[in-house]
Structure 1
Amino acid sequence: MRFHSLATTCLLAFSSTSIGETIPPNHILWGEQGPPTTLHRRQATPSPTSTRVADSACTNGPLTRQCWSNGFNAATDFDKKWPNTGKTVTYSLEITNGTCNPDGNGAKPCQLFNNQYPGPVISANWGDWIEVTVKNSMQANGTGIHWHGIRMLNNCPNDGVPGITECPLAPADTKVYRFQATQFGTTWYHSHFSSQYGEGAFGALVINGPASANYDIDLGPYVLNDLYYPTSWQMGLIAFNNLQLGRPPPPANNIIVNGTNKNAGNTTGSYNKVKLTKGKKYRLRLINASTDNNIRVSLDNHPFLVINSDLVPIKPYVTNWVLLAVGQRYDVVITANQTVGDYWFRADVASECASSNANRGLSIFTYDGAPGNDPTTSPFTKPTNGCVDESPLVPWVPNTVDQTAFMNQVGNLQVDLHREQVTTNGQNLVFWGINLTAINVDWDEPTLQYVADKNTSYPRVFNLIEIPNQNTWSYWIIQETPGTLVPIPHPIHLHGHDFYVLGARGGSTFNISSDPQTLQWQNPPRRDTAILPGRGWLAIAFPSDNPGAWLMHCHIAWHVADGLAVQFLESKDQAPLGDANWQKTCANWNQYALNPTYPKSDSGLKLL
């Protein structure tokens, strides 16, 4: 069985791989310096204007959004400390088979939380514990709920990834997820089981806390997602067949804005409407919960003041358009200072990111006193900088990434560009993969069960990389292999951590001699989802300070279903393991899996 040891610096080759050639051993090596050095994460000197001094009188309000309470504020390093409110907020989610009709085109099969599309908003305050009881009332599907971007510090069994951190929840079974909100900001939750999130099994998760700019009113989460009229299973199969021919998946049928839109014929459906009062400032929490579409958004005549990227407060900057890759979030402040009237909010497919859609997302922002009609406003000019992450993303709490270990390792990094082929039913099939392996998890025996059993014979298809030492830096160059059959950007998401984005470049291979000098070590962007440019590379770093099994994957659902993922097994001897209820969930699943209605047909992680 082949599995990876830790390479403090490693190049992950993202490639469209045919399943068959032998992978050469030891293609990830230690450098001459041996194992990684101890973690040194230095906090840079805060800006003197970053916030008022935190004290017991620092409370959050329209003119003091940087404050929170009890000495905590936007300048608090939430990796090191957070409030402990002593409060637990509880929610119940029931996932069912149902129908939805978000754009008036006609009812289609959906899988829904509490019969809502999107699912209900889960909200808590910074430092609260969140407890969610999930009941699986579907007739013929397991499930598992992932809390996107939540760090889950020392709490890996609650990350919600069937085959890695848990067994799926069997039909008619119930389980409780419990975690603390050590971060604050905007994120979302979704099924991480097969096709469910593409069928509507997702919703917003808001953790109230301080902010890096003032505003009067919080409008709450604004969820954007692509909509396909066929089922996600059907679309996944079409996308997979197209991949065999080097073709993109079919375009989505619509972009849904906060649960609704008109269809492409503009004959049925409705636009979401948001009321504004002239002179007020509004916080809007943007979430891209799409299956495939990266989306660019704007509000006519109203620039955005961007204050958060993912769950990280940033130094505010002004822009007219914001690009959200799949899985990303941005919080923006809108100032209602225009002529009283009706204005289009636009959610356009980002074609520069190889996304396609038959329609555009629209909603209406209307001032008090305006007629509330369809607007006649014109859009801002779109940027022409291609499919790249927003910039500048300067974290409000500055940190410096230690580069010493990276430089010691980079000279000996081995980059393998081979393809891997497997014969299935007499055919050679093409899959997305990382390091020449398409991940394929085992729902019946997740990675954490291997850890509990002290079984290190991980199947090769687990695509598992061990990070054995705690409190070290882990650096990764993620490279889309030159000559990849379908060279497109990928939104890369990491569980269990934020990562620091040291650099990215499209259309080039990482040059081990010269590119390290271009990386950003002083307060680089920090987030949980970033764009790997097409034909290019993405350099990230994160500290190994959270024991457990953590998935890193492309958040385009077709791609992770085909295998474009890797899992990091971090400090396994310190990893928290499942309790008796966790084991009961596995026992119930394994009993159900003896005769499942729909056998597993993909990586098991999402879509197809």
Structure 2
Amino acid sequence: MNLPDKQEEELVKEEVELSKAFAEKIKAWKGYSAPPALEATNPRWAINHVSLSLPATPYLGAYFYGIAGSVLDNPAEPLDTYVSSSNRVFRIADGAVVDVVLQNANMLQKGVSEPHPWHLHGHEFWVLGYGEGRYDAATAKLNMEDPPLRNTVVLFPGGWTKIRFVADNPGVWAFHCHIEPHLHMGMGRVHFVEGGGAHRRLQSKPAMRLPLLAVVVLLACVVVRPLCAAAAKARHFKWEISNMFWSPDCGEKVVIGINGQFPGPTIRARAGDTIHVELKNALHTEGVVIHWHGIRQIGTPWADGTAAISQCAINPEETFTYRFVVDKPGTYFYHGHYGMQRAAGLYGSLIVDVAEGEEEPFKYDGELNLLLSDWYHESIHTQMVALSSKPFRWIGEPQSLLINGRGQFNCSLAAAHTLGAEQCAAAVSRQCAPVVFSVQPNKTYRLRVASTTSLASLNLAVGNHKLTVVEADGNYVDPFAVDDMDVYSGDSYSVLLTTDQDASSNYWISVGVRGRPPKTAPALAVLNYRPNRASRLPALAPPATPAWDDYEHSKAFTYRIRARAGTMQPPPATADRRIELLNTQNRMDGYTRWSINNASMVLPATPYLGSLKLGLKSALAAARPAETFDRGYDVTRPPANPNTTVGDNVYVLAHNTTVDVVLQNANALASNVSEVHPWHLHGHDFWVLGYGDGAYRGDAADEARLNLRDPPLRNTAVIFPYGWTALRFVADNPGVWAFHCHIEPHLHMGMGVIFAEAVDRVGKVPKEAVSCGATASALMAGDHL
């Protein structure tokens, strides 16, 4: 119903008066005690233009451990007369009687004052009265006879509300507007009920994070080791991770960005340099960590950036500093490793050049960086709930593919997505315009290619140009030329491209989906031959990628990747231990899960690095995970018994032992479905010894397929449908390392294991890295890492 403005205004006034009349009728039931008299020395409270900003360190812990004076602002009275941001805490003596007058006012917009329901934690209060206009103690009408006891009270537009409470509950308590956006924007206060009784009665020591208690320790926890070259440097970066609006595929969505950028800023360093990233979590409601994908973290396992494995999640408003050495050159990247934050845009490039005075084993004239990803319109929180639902809800295929954070939504899919119409109607912005890579004719360029996709396996091609593969996952490979190349999630490559085509034209760079039905349109970028205009569309159509299920094409490319002669040591001739991991899709209590040897990985509340280093008995399950699977298992059919169980999936490895891992793929729950799985190992590179079809038997035929002469060193390897992949690595890097499928939904659903490797040899671990869960309690009790 549309009313004239004046009539609508009168209606609102009537509703406000009705609300006031209702509120004033609420009285205490007979028999309740009246409020105590207010002593003249008791303080009066108001917001007074100070916007609440919560600290990284919990108030209760700061007061209990005597560090509040150094980290919090503690005025006796709220004296500010200007707008500022503060984490101020108002001290109240134990047992004091406190009056609080809440005064409402006009907003920035003239003639607008909103109702505010205020809620007090830890206490109930007497509602003494309400009034209009400015509060005046001389004229205010208060109810001292039978005021109601409440914990929440309304403040009417343009009016005041007065309450009284007894500070008889020692602790740190919030008092705030209960409207979420208003609290988020600073409408609140915190008070500390102190005095002699406060510390006597705060007896328990809850487990909590200790970020500020360990600030000084940080400098003492950097592992000292020889640098790769005399010219190695320390490179410092200061990042703030936050949510922001962005339009990666021309449809606006909340993404996770770094310093206001999406994708995040590129880190560039030389081999031997030490990277320092001071990271502040400005996300409002969730933790965060950053994994430095492909960096082995030799001597710094706590900096690997895996929540619940190498460190605690960095809580909102906390700051954590990653320090590590990039020990070898290559094309790498970084990404979130908490929940599914990589799928929300938390990723960026990490490029390590050769050390000063060294050269690459190939020549080129320039570089182009291609960071590939896929993109969903649903939030990661919706996706995680769907994947964890009963009945199971599959998240579907991504809506777009992105090159350097840019793509275009396929409008033919609009009917299947609620945001489709708006996105297709939106004008193309700079945030989603095709990336243009400008080149000079007759030059050779190094394309640094990496895939951060959540789900999609990709194929890359450049129209009319050959690609010569020279590096994979930071290791040199024997060069070979292709028309197109498969890039799985977690892969990184360097390929050489020579601009030897018709210089009067531009050319399409195309990225399409592999291994899944092609419901997502290819991502396109432009290879711009200068001096052609960047806006000139290529004359030729985008290059056609292979059929999505042409696995023979994929295998032919993958099998050609071999180590470059003279650039690395061959693998040990034999292994000390073999671990065979069967990937299956299962059900558990009605939920759909992925399992390894019939155990679906669930991560703990306490990071393994801290709990194992401290020797906490509860760190590992009593039953150790299986190291092989039933040779009679039919990998071509759905599991005969689909039921599975949860497990920690932790394999304890002896120091310096050689370990073989065989990854075995199988049919999923649905008939005739076996998916591609790219597996990524933290803390190590491994030799990819070979691949095979069907079930791995370990017999002479399988052994004959292994390459012990020049296998490539990788950190990510693919398992093809209904096949197996054999890897070998040396357990020479003490720490706790994740090994998992790099597809976000699969890891979320349990597809992974943990290698705990010579944890007793790990050096000092910064307390702030692992001060959560049981580790925090142990550290408070005096244990040492």
Question: 248-257 or 116-125: which moved more?
Answer: 248-257
Which residue is equivalent to 1:223?
371
Deviation at 1:511, TM superposition (A): 4.3
C-alpha distance in 2, partners of 1:273/1:582?
41
Q: Aligned in 2, Cα 1:375/1:550: closer, same or farther, shift over 3 Å?
A: same
Which residue is equivalent to 2:531?
369
Which residue is equivalent to 1:394?
562
Which of 248, 267, 272 is the matching residue for 1:102?
A: 248
Deviation at 1:237, TM superposition (A): 3.7
Amino acid at match of 1:327: G
| Contact 1:551/1:565, CA 8 A, preserved across alignment | yes
| Contact 1:320/1:380, CA 8 A, preserved across alignment | no
1:85 aligns with 2:231: yes
Deviation at 1:458, TM superposition (A): 3.3
Deviation at 1:400, TM superposition (A): 2.2
C-alpha distance in 2, partners of 1:589/1:374?
59
Q: Aligned in 2, Cα 1:342/1:240: closer, same or farther, shift over 3 Å?
A: farther
Which of 341, 344, 348 is the matching residue for 1:203?
A: 348
C-alpha distance in 2, partners of 1:421/1:195?
21
1:452 aligns with 2:620: no
Q: How does 1:24-35 map to 2 (within 5 A)?
A: none
Which residue is equivalent to 2:573?
403
Partner SS state of residue 370, structure 1: coil
C-alpha distance in 2, partners of 1:362/1:165?
37
Deviation at 1:479, TM superposition (A): 0.8
Partner SS state of residue 157, structure 1: helix
Partner SS state of residue 402, structure 2: strand
Percent identity, please: 26
Which residue is equivalent to 2:737?
550
Which residue is equivalent to 2:397?
251
Which of 470, 479, 486 is the matching residue for 1:323?
A: 486
Deviation at 1:374, TM superposition (A): 1.7
Amino acid at match of 2:660: Y
Unaligned runs of 5+ in 2: 1-224, 412-423, 622-646, 778-785
Deviation at 1:206, TM superposition (A): 0.5
C-alpha distance in 1, partners of 2:770/2:583?
40
Q: Aligned in 2, Cα 1:244/1:505: closer, same or farther, shift over 3 Å?
A: farther
Q: Aligned in 2, Cα 1:177/1:417: closer, same or farther, shift over 3 Å?
A: closer
**How far does the alpha carbon of each residue in 1:76-132 deviate from its partner, in whole angstroms, 9 at most, with x for none?**
xxx999335341001112110112101212x11111111211101011011111111
Which of 500, 513, 520 is the matching residue for 2:707?
A: 520
Partner SS state of residue 236, structure 1: helix
Partner SS state of residue 769, structure 2: helix
Which residue is equivalent to 1:235?
383
Which residue is equivalent to 2:509?
345
Deviation at 1:189, TM superposition (A): 0.5
| Contact 2:692/2:702, CA 8 A, preserved across alignment | no
C-alpha distance in 2, partners of 1:567/1:325?
21
Q: Aligned in 2, Cα 1:589/1:321: closer, same or farther, shift over 3 Å?
A: farther
Which residue is equivalent to 2:433?
270
Which residue is equivalent to 1:16?
none
Q: Aligned in 2, Cα 1:226/1:459: closer, same or farther, shift over 3 Å?
A: same
Deviation at 1:525, TM superposition (A): 1.5
Q: Aligned in 2, Cα 1:374/1:415: closer, same or farther, shift over 3 Å?
A: closer
C-alpha distance in 2, partners of 1:395/1:85?
28
Partner SS state of residue 563, structure 2: coil
Which residue is equivalent to 1:479?
664
Which residue is equivalent to 2:450?
287
Aligned residues between the structures: 496
Which residue is equivalent to 1:212?
361
Which of 420, 423, 432 is the matching residue for 2:594?
A: 432
| Contact 1:448/1:577, CA 8 A, preserved across alignment | no
Deviation at 1:262, TM superposition (A): 2.6
C-alpha distance in 2, partners of 1:438/1:292?
19
Q: Aligned in 2, Cα 1:126/1:414: closer, same or farther, shift over 3 Å?
A: closer
C-alpha distance in 1, partners of 2:583/2:290?
34
Amino acid at match of 1:346: S
| Contact 2:370/2:447, CA 8 A, preserved across alignment | yes
Structure showing greater Rg: 2
Deviation at 1:513, TM superposition (A): 4.7
Amino acid at match of 2:608: T
**How far does the alpha carbon of each residue in 1:123-168 deviate from its partner, in whole angstroms, 9 at most, with x for none?**
1011111111110001100011100010111211110111010011
Which residue is equivalent to 2:284?
139
Normalising to structure 1: TM-score of the pair? 0.76
C-alpha distance in 1, partners of 2:506/2:768?
52
Compute the RMSD of aligned alpha carbons: 2.7
| Contact 2:512/2:545, CA 8 A, preserved across alignment | no
1:187 aligns with 2:332: yes
| Contact 1:145/1:192, CA 8 A, preserved across alignment | yes
Higher helix residue share = 2
C-alpha distance in 1, partners of 2:661/2:701?
16
C-alpha distance in 2, partners of 1:392/1:374?
34
C-alpha distance in 2, partners of 1:158/1:518?
37
Amino acid at match of 2:569: N
Deviation at 1:256, TM superposition (A): 0.8
Question: 544-553 or 431-440: which moved more?
Answer: 431-440
Amino acid at match of 1:203: G
Normalising to structure 2: TM-score of the pair? 0.60
Q: Aligned in 2, Cα 1:97/1:416: closer, same or farther, shift over 3 Å?
A: closer
C-alpha distance in 2, partners of 1:530/1:335?
28
Amino acid at match of 2:653: I
Question: 414-423 or 484-493: which moved more?
Answer: 414-423
Return the structure number with greater relative CO, CA threshold 8 A, min gap 6: 1
C-alpha distance in 1, partners of 2:263/2:502?
32
Which residue is equivalent to 1:466?
652
Which of 251, 261, 280 is the matching residue for 1:116?
A: 261
Deviation at 1:478, TM superposition (A): 1.0
Deviation at 1:577, TM superposition (A): 4.4
